[in-house]
């Protein structure tokens, strides 16, 4: 929770949502890289104790979870809807994901991705339903 509030404070003055999203993504990549480097340092020490050297090919870099969803949501929905409804959901998912990884719980991290993508789909349906209801209500008021 501290990471989310810190990121919100740091980037709250950035007006452009795309720039804000990119800055937050870069920060999350930096955090993930630092977590990964710390785990590699521990892995190196452990490998030296066991007489093994870790292979560079074992290192994998990946985009933060929800990157594809951010691209699609920014394309499909208005700027204000993305910022107010969806962006916080993505940030929460990423924060929980990195927290699970830092605790060395990869199964929990994977579950967080699955669970929060499902919750994101439900949020999209709720948003669309509310938008349709709002449009129908305004249309009905005009006809009266």
Question: Which range has the worst mean pLDDT, 34-43, 81-90, 131-140?
Answer: 34-43
- Domains: count for the chain: 1
Supply the pLDDT for residue 1.
45
Residue 54 CA to residue 39 CA, distance in Å, equals: 12
Average pLDDT score over residue span 81-94: 89
Residue 107 CA to residue 45 CA, distance in Å, equals: 24
Which residues constitute the domain of residue 123? Answer: 2-143
User: Comparing C-alpha atoms, which of 21, 16, 18, 15 is closest to residue 7?
Assistant: 21
Burial pattern 122-143, b for ≥16 Cβ within 10 A else e, equals eebeebeeeeeeeeeeeeeeee
In tens, the pLDDT along 35-84 reads 555 555 555 655 555 555 545 555 567 788 888 888 999 999 999 888 88
User: Comparing C-alpha atoms, which of 136, 13, 96, 35 is closest to residue 88?
Assistant: 96
């Amino acid at each position: 929770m501290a990471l989310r509030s810190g990121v919100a404070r740091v980037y709250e003055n950035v007006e452009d949502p795309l720039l804000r999203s990119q800055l937050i993504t870069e920060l999350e990549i930096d955090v993930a890289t630092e977590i990964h480097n710390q785990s590699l340092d521990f892995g190196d020490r452990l490998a030296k104790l066991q007489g093994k050297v870790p292979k560079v090919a074992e290192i994998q870099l990946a985009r933060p979870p929800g990157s594809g969803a951010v691209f699609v949501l920014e394309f499909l929905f208005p700027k204000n809807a993305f910022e107010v409804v969806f962006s916080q959901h993505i940030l929460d998912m990423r924060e929980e994901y990195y927290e699970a990884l830092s605790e060395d719980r990869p199964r929990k991290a994977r579950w967080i991705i699955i669970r929060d993508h499902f919750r994101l789909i439900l949020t999209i349906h709720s948003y669309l339903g509310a938008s349709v209801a709002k449009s129908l209500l305004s249309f009905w008021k005009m006809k009266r």
